[in-house]
Chain A
């Protein structure tokens, strides 16, 4: 009823392999893009940018990155916070060392540096799997946070031990520091989010993505059909860390502006991004967006309902949020391990035939 594919024929392999092979999906995607680029920047205000849109866009990049590693390649990682910190500190060092270079370059370079660090910490994955690999990446998480706390060179010997984003512009528009406009920071993050999603989609639908999924589903069979496990796992770590580094750089420079590493990029950050992809859907780009939106919106909605409407104390609402997230993780792991993305897929299947299923 709502969802028609009748008369929609793909006549070439190129058409069959596009991201949205069904016309209806394709147009909906164009509409969303159009609204995000041409409508939202004109109606955005500081509250919406800071409470929802910026964290959503930035977490979406981190979730895409982690999903490539965990959802597509099957290598469990708990080091997301640490890798985001690498991106943030790399961006900070680049911003202060080269003030005249565009922020675009800084963020991309921060991503590349994080990719290199990710490959380094991905090396144990060749020997260990599953639970043990998760513990090894946990070590990366604590080591990296410790490193940025203890080595003053990383925070330019500032007295507070914090890093603060100096004012930087790109193409003459101010995007970091305290005097930015909401639309400028939003557009800057949006460009990175869209580009990340496109690149991730292109990689996962081609031969690289199949190598990752082959390793995830059965590593022995993957090796027998010609997948070099070393190279496949390390490219997954590199690409994943690249995206996570970009999101860390944006999180620090655009969204927060000032960072104390243990507080912002601690183990809770790793778990938050992991929860996003579990709730959103492992092995799905759309799921990364859905999970990020869900976990960013949940506290906002709870605050509106609990504090503003019902008049509950703030700390009770904050605790309630932890209870809800914890409960949802358990429910999703048992009932729908493929997350919101799978629910969406099932809903689409049903809507194809609704209201006449026979």
Chain B
């Protein structure tokens, strides 16, 4: 592995930047259960970082720690070179970290366009008073942000459904709209919690393509949790493997594939 502060170039010619986020000795407990035990890893700028592991390994908990939803009992989160104090989730969002959820968490009562526009909320700051008159500052801000939202809608090919209420969409489209909402925030780190859960092969291919395109076109750093090994190995630059709250492997897909602990965790091991 390279030194943490330097950039390097991957085999396919993409530049991976220095470390943007570092988790140091994170421990998270729920009562007597240790969901995460003393885990450290880092995320580099511009890379696709996968977190894998069997059910109950603590992957989603890890993502919740990053997005500020859980506060770990021990350990530090370093973001862009400084230690991040304990924060509420909306403050984490303001810092440029967006995420999607394992179970879709869209705003069902709103249209697709409105859902994507909620992703722009951290970029909109017109006061209540100016908004009640609309003309002027509020309208300009709305149009400027609408242009960004439309770019994302265009990118993810959901133009045709932009005025449709989200509750009428199919599962696959909802997943895509949720990705659009997260992308609309123009995050520096995008967290994806099982973006391909419950999809058929075709939808998985589409989603994989979108994830690669996002990383390629916007240069967004992506951390994702996924169960489909084929997808993970194809997409990601580096992989963290967790089991029972512990880190058992970390490295390129090839490293991880040949790691004995990982093989044991996934295939089981004979106890005698």
Which chain B positions have C-beta within 8 A of A202? Answer: 131-134, 138
**Residue B230 at the A interface, CB < 8 A?**
no
> Given known contacts A206-B142, A214-B110, what 13 new A-B pairs fall within 8 Å (CB)?
A17-B139, A206-B126, A207-B121, A207-B126, A207-B142, A211-B121, A213-B110, A214-B107, A222-B118, A224-B105, A226-B94, A226-B121, A239-B128
CA distance A210 to B94 in the complex (A): 17
Q: Please indicate which of the listed interface residues A206, A214, A218 has the most CB atoms of chain B within 10 Å of its own CB.
A: A206
Are B128 and A235 neighbours in the complex by a CB distance under 8 Å? yes
Among residues of A, the one whose C-beta sits closest to the C-beta of B101 is A221
CA distance A111 to B69 in the complex (A): 37
Q: Interface size class for chain B?
A: 35 or more
Task: Supply 6 A–B pairs (Cβ within 8 Å), ascending by A.
Answer: A13-B146, A207-B117, A210-B114, A210-B117, A213-B114, A225-B119
**Residue A14 at the B interface, CB < 8 A?**
yes
Are B114 and A225 neighbours in the complex by a CB distance under 8 Å? no
Are A207 and B124 neighbours in the complex by a CB distance under 8 Å? yes
- The smallest beta-carbon distance between B57 and chain A, in angstroms, is 22
Are B121 and A210 neighbours in the complex by a CB distance under 8 Å? yes
**Residue B61 at the A interface, CB < 8 A?**
no
Cβ-neighbour of B185 out of A12, A13, A218, A225 (below 8 A): A225
Are B108 and A13 neighbours in the complex by a CB distance under 8 Å? no
Cβ-neighbour of B147 out of A13, A208, A229 (below 8 A): A13
**Residue B106 at the A interface, CB < 8 A?**
yes
CA distance A213 to B108 in the complex (A): 10
Chain B 85-127, CB within 8 Å of chain A: the 1/0 string?
0001110011000110100011111100010011111101010
Which chain A positions have C-beta within 8 A of B133? Answer: 199, 202
Which chain A positions have C-beta within 8 A of B118? Answer: 210-211, 214, 222, 225, 227
Identify whether the interface residues of A are mostly helix, strand, loop, or mixed: helix
CA distance A221 to B108 in the complex (A): 11
Are A208 and B131 neighbours in the complex by a CB distance under 8 Å? yes
Given A221-B105, A224-B89, A210–B110 Cβ distance below 8 Å? yes
Are B107 and A221 neighbours in the complex by a CB distance under 8 Å? yes
Are A218 and B138 neighbours in the complex by a CB distance under 8 Å? no
Q: Please indicate which of the listed interface residues A12, A217, A227 has the most CB atoms of chain B within 10 Å of its own CB.
A: A217
CA distance A213 to B105 in the complex (A): 13
Given A13-B146, A210-B110, A227–B121 Cβ distance below 8 Å? yes
CA distance A214 to B107 in the complex (A): 6
CA distance A213 to B122 in the complex (A): 16
**Residue B181 at the A interface, CB < 8 A?**
yes
Chain A 185-212, CB within 8 Å of chain B: the 1/0 string?
0000000000000010011011110110
Chain A 163-201, CB within 8 Å of chain B: the 1/0 string?
000000000000000000000000000000000000100
Which chain A positions have C-beta within 8 A of B67? Answer: 224
Which residues does A use to contact B, with CB under 8 Å?
12-14, 17, 199, 202-203, 205-208, 210-211, 213-214, 216-218, 220-229, 235, 239, 283
Are A228 and B90 neighbours in the complex by a CB distance under 8 Å? yes
**Residue B143 at the A interface, CB < 8 A?**
yes
Are B143 and A14 neighbours in the complex by a CB distance under 8 Å? yes
Which chain A positions have C-beta within 8 A of B101? Answer: 221, 224
Within 8 A of A (CB), among B120-176: 120-122, 124, 126, 128, 131-134, 138-139, 141-143, 146-147, 150
CA distance A210 to B122 in the complex (A): 12
Which chain B positions have C-beta within 8 A of A203? Answer: 128, 131-132
CA distance A261 to B58 in the complex (A): 58
CA distance A210 to B88 in the complex (A): 20
Among residues of A, the one whose C-beta sits closest to the C-beta of B124 is A207
Q: Please indicate which of the listed interface residues B110, B117, B122 has the most CB atoms of chain A within 10 Å of its own CB.
A: B110
Among residues of A, the one whose C-beta sits closest to the C-beta of B167 is A217
Are A14 and B139 neighbours in the complex by a CB distance under 8 Å? yes
Which chain B positions have C-beta within 8 A of A227? Answer: 90, 118, 121
CA distance A214 to B124 in the complex (A): 15
- The smallest beta-carbon distance between A116 and chain B, in angstroms, is 14
CA distance A217 to B121 in the complex (A): 16
- The smallest beta-carbon distance between A220 and chain B, in angstroms, is 7
Among residues of B, the one whose C-beta sits closest to the C-beta of A19 is B134
CA distance A199 to B181 in the complex (A): 27
Are B109 and A283 neighbours in the complex by a CB distance under 8 Å? yes
Q: Please indicate which of the listed interface residues B93, B99, B119 has the most CB atoms of chain A within 10 Å of its own CB.
A: B93
Are A225 and B132 neighbours in the complex by a CB distance under 8 Å? no
CA distance A325 to B93 in the complex (A): 46
What are the 7 A-B residue pairs with the smallest beta carbon separation, nearest first?
Answer: A226-B93, A217-B107, A221-B105, A226-B122, A202-B134, A207-B124, A199-B132
Which chain A positions have C-beta within 8 A of B147? Answer: 13
Among residues of B, the one whose C-beta sits closest to the C-beta of A220 is B105
CA distance A225 to B93 in the complex (A): 6
CA distance A219 to B9 in the complex (A): 41
- The smallest beta-carbon distance between A219 and chain B, in angstroms, is 10
Chain B 60-80, CB within 8 Å of chain A: the 1/0 string?
000000010100000000000
Q: Please indicate which of the listed interface residues A14, A199, A202, A225 has the most CB atoms of chain B within 10 Å of its own CB.
A: A225
CA distance A224 to B138 in the complex (A): 24
CA distance A222 to B118 in the complex (A): 8
Are B69 and A218 neighbours in the complex by a CB distance under 8 Å? no
CA distance A14 to B141 in the complex (A): 11
Are B88 and A206 neighbours in the complex by a CB distance under 8 Å? no
Which chain B positions have C-beta within 8 A of A214? Answer: 107, 110, 118, 121
Among residues of A, the one whose C-beta sits closest to the C-beta of B163 is A16
